[in-house]
Amino acid sequence: MNLTLATDDTGGAEIFASLQGEGPSMGMPVAFVRLSRCNLACVWCDTAYTWHFEGDNRPHRNGTTFERKANQVTLSPAETATRIAALGQNRLVITGGEPLLQAGGLAEMLEHLPDISVEIETNGTVAPPPRLDIRVDQYNVSPKLSHSGNAPDLALIPERLDAWASDPRAFLKFVIAAPEDVAEVLELQRRYRFRSGQVFLMAEGTDSAAQRARQEWLAPLCMEHGFRMSDRLHIHLYGDTRGT
């Protein structure tokens, strides 16, 4: 079962080494692999080239659509694993798009990488099958709030949120665009009883200025409610670019 990956600026597969920019592993040296395709459509998505292809009428804030052929590449799980191993990192972040849509191919890929620690970044709507789940050390789950533009019945699936809340490997990372978004997080925390230290709030934004401006009011809200705050380190280091 081949994998469909996003492309970097050269048209090759988006497989690269960098520092993890977000969440509980922020600042760690890692290998990244970015898969293509997503089952949700966030209006502020900063990787719209993984899903907002020509003919897709789901809204995105800048209206740009991408040619599918130029923004997707197919590799076997074994070849993908070989390219990841060549980066020489001990930890792998699998991101997207929504990587769990390709769980079968990922499970096969990770069988070629038995000694690497694995993080999966997911929107939280798809259950990982056992063959993949046993190889994952950490889930970075980003449930989508109403400002994402996704319908709650698509983005916030109760049985999945129940499962993530009880999984010690899972961290919940909520994108916050305005102070009132935090009320939604508090309601979800009340309903699903997320553990202390499990929830991160991260300011929405694709440039350092926007990040810093929103962090000025987000930091006090994290303090008030006992949430952890995530920066977006890669935005400060490299800007909103592919392969970083």
Q: Three-state SS for 100?
A: helix
Mean pLDDT score, 169-189: 98
Sequence-distant (6+) residues with CB within 8 A of 68 are 53, 54
pTM value? Answer: 0.97
Structure tokens at 56: 């897709």
Question: Strands 138-141 and 117-122: what pairing?
Answer: parallel
Distance CA 52, CA 34 (A): 15
Looking at the chain, the whole-number percentage of residues with pLDDT higher than 70 is: 100
Handedness of CA 140, 143, 149, 150 (dihedral sign): positive
Residue 13 is classified by DSSP as B
In contact, 156 and 141? CB cutoff 8 Å: no
Paired with 35 in beta bridges are: 5
Could you check whether the bond before residue 97 is cis, i.e. omega within 30 degrees of 0? yes
With bands split at pLDDT 50, 70 and 90, how would you rate the model's confidence at 133?
very high
In contact, 225 and 176? CB cutoff 8 Å: no
Distance CA 128, CA 132 (A): 6
With bands split at pLDDT 50, 70 and 90, how would you rate the model's confidence at 63?
confident
Question: Strands 170-176 and 199-203: what pairing?
Answer: parallel
CB atoms within 10 A of CB 146: 13
Q: What is the dihedral of CA 214, 215, 218, 223, to 10 degrees?
A: -170
Q: What is the pLDDT of residue 91?
A: 98
Distance from CA of residue 99 to its chain's centroid?
9
With bands split at pLDDT 50, 70 and 90, how would you rate the model's confidence at 165?
very high
Structure tokens at 205: 């934004």
- Among residues 35, 101, 106, 109, which one has the least CA distance to residue 73? 35
